[in-house]
């Protein structure tokens, strides 16, 4: 369920206990209305979707589970209308329902709404493509599991390379949760350090800024290159599928081109040395 601040499903669960501790899932209609919950009719009127759509979203866990009254009436959390409208806005930006759910799970409702308001269509499309992948881990676990220090993490955070997941907003402690990209980056840097690329040889995890600076212009150009072509795709759902394939293969292409450049440099260096030896012999 969504990682809002506070978490929607957690609110629902707490309300179930507050409204009717003896009846479990059942609460009174009066208490449900008093706490801002909506009937199915109100949800339909406010969003202009069908009852079947609402039930479908609940079944897929796009919407929080409604509270049931003793008379078998369902009441929906106050954020239901906002969630439905956000999902529809994402659909208009080429994002299918399954990916919209991933975005809401990963970024939280407030962050996705802000993204829709402040960013371009291509940015939303890219965010949707990159959501819902990888493992997230709390900072305390990172420090115990990987070969990086508090100082390393703080410096990488300052560079903007480590980011916290929206799940961090749910914790009542300072132990924040890193998103999946941060965890992968930390893992790679830790492995480099364990292999011997450490401070004794002049290496630091923050040397990754070398890649950051070199890649920023490439990525900006890449976004323009793909966006102009993909945003014209119809039907809209296909744009997200094509973008996903494009970004995945572009990463693979970057790795392979980098390898080719390295091998070309080795070849060039070998040829230069060979030519130098020949010149030395002739002289």
Residues 111 and 18 reside in one and the same domain: yes
CA Rg value for the chain: 25
| pTM of the predicted protein model | 0.57
* Calpha distance 157→134 (Å, rounded): 19
Which CATH number do you get for residue 101?
Answer: 1.10.1660.10
The per-residue pLDDT for range 40-64, each reduced to its tens digit, is 999 999 999 999 999 999 999 999 9
Domain count, the chain: 2
C-beta separation of 10 from 172 below 8 A:
no
The pLDDT of residue 54 is 94
Q: How far is CA 24 from CA 15, 27, 79, 186, in A?
A: 10, 8, 22, 43
127 lies in some domain: no
237 lies in some domain: no
More reliable by pLDDT, 257 or 96: 257
Whether 15 has a pLDDT exceeding 70, the answer reads no
Residues 144 and 219 reside in one and the same domain: yes
61 lies in some domain: yes
Whether 85 has a pLDDT exceeding 70, the answer reads yes
Residues 151 and 221 reside in one and the same domain: yes
Q: How far is CA 160 from CA 150, 163, 181, 212, 270, in A?
A: 15, 7, 12, 10, 39
Residues 110 and 79 reside in one and the same domain: yes
More reliable by pLDDT, 229 or 36: 36
Q: Which structure tokens are listed for 203?
A: 């290496």
The highest-confidence range among 13-22, 100-109, 154-163, by mean pLDDT, is: 154-163
The per-residue pLDDT for range 218-270, each reduced to its tens digit, is 888 887 777 777 666 656 667 667 777 777 888 889 999 999 999 999 888 77
The per-residue pLDDT for range 179-227, each reduced to its tens digit, is 888 999 999 999 999 999 888 899 988 899 999 999 988 888 887 777 7
More reliable by pLDDT, 32 or 253: 253
* Residue with tokens 């080795």, as numbered in its chain: 266
Per the structure, the complete domain to which residue 40 belongs is given by 8-119
The mean pLDDT of 26-50, rounded to a whole number, is: 76
Residues 62 and 17 reside in one and the same domain: yes
Residues 101 and 39 reside in one and the same domain: yes
Which CATH number do you get for residue 212?
Answer: 1.10.1660
């Amino acid at each position: 369920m969504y990682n809002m601040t506070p978490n929607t499903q957690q609110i629902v669960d707490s309300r179930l206990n507050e409204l009717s501790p003896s009846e479990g899932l059942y609460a009174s209609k009066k208490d449900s209305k008093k706490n801002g919950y909506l009937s199915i009719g109100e949800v339909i009127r406010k969003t202009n979707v069908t009852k079947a759509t609402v039930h479908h979203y609940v079944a897929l866990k796009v919407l929080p589970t409604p509270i049931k009254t003793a008379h078998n009436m369902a009441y929906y959390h106050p954020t239901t209308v906002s969630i439905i409208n956000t999902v529809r806005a994402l659909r208009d930006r080429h994002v299918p329902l399954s990916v919209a759910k991933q975005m809401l799970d990963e970024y939280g409702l407030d962050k996705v709404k802000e993204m829709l308001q402040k960013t371009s269509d291509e940015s939303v499309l890219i965010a949707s493509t990159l959501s819902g992948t990888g493992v997230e881990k709390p900072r305390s676990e990172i420090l115990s599991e990987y070969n990086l220090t508090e100082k390393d993490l703080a410096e990488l955070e300052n560079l903007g390379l480590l980011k916290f997941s929206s799940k961090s907003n749910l914790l009542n402690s300072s132990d924040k949760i890193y998103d999946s990209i941060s965890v992968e980056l930390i893992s790679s840097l830790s492995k480099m350090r364990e292999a011997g690329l450490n401070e004794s040889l002049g290496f630091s995890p923050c040397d990754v800024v070398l890649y950051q600076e070199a890649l920023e212009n490439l990525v900006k150009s890449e976004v323009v290159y793909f966006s102009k072509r993909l945003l014209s795709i119809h039907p809209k759902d296909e744009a997200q599928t094509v973008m996903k394939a494009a970004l995945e293969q572009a990463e693979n292409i970057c790795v392979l081109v980098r390898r080719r450049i390295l091998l070309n440099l080795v070849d060039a260096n070998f040829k230069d040395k060979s030519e130098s030896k020949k010149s030395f012999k002739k002289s």
